[in-house]
Amino acid sequence: AFPTLVGDMDSAGSLNAQVLHLIAERIRTKAVFQTHQAKFVTWQFDGEYQGDDCTATLTLGNPDLLGGSVILVAHFLQSITPRLVLGGEMVYPQKWVATLNVGYGGAHASYYHRANEQVMALSPC
């Protein structure tokens, strides 16, 4: 049954918790919280839509409305044929991103790092 709450707390008071909720048959949400003693370490919110031949996911990581920072990740996968799926990923705005994609035809890895406004590096493999 939904919503579902899963978590554990250690003897120092640190908490790892997840809240899962199925809003509709094809729409799932998840919230993840992690604390170290009395301080929030990380929190993340996910929303996922699963269509007949596509999947779309939006993730907000460590949103800080007062500080104006957030990590935003969007994924989209679309079935082209029964054996071919194409997709994309968008990440905003951290200084570095690393990805690894492995499939039937091979593997692709990339690393992007922004040192400052003038210096950026991209290393596809």
Span 21-61, pLDDT tens digits: 999 999 999 999 999 887 888 889 999 999 999 999 999 98
Report the pLDDT value the prediction gives residue 71, as an integer from 0 to 100.
82
Bond preceding residue 124 cis, omega within 30 of 0:
no
Residues whose CB falls within 8 Å of the CB of residue 50, separated by 6 or more in sequence, listed in order: 26, 28
Residue with tokens 């949103």: 63
Nearest alpha-carbon partner for 86 in 54, 59, 58, 111: 54
What pLDDT score was predicted for residue 3? 92
Antiparallel, parallel or unpaired: β 54-64 and 69-81: antiparallel
Q: Which amino acid is at 125?
A: C
For the cut 90, the answer to whether the pLDDT of residue 8 exceeds it is yes
Which pLDDT score is estimated for 50? 97
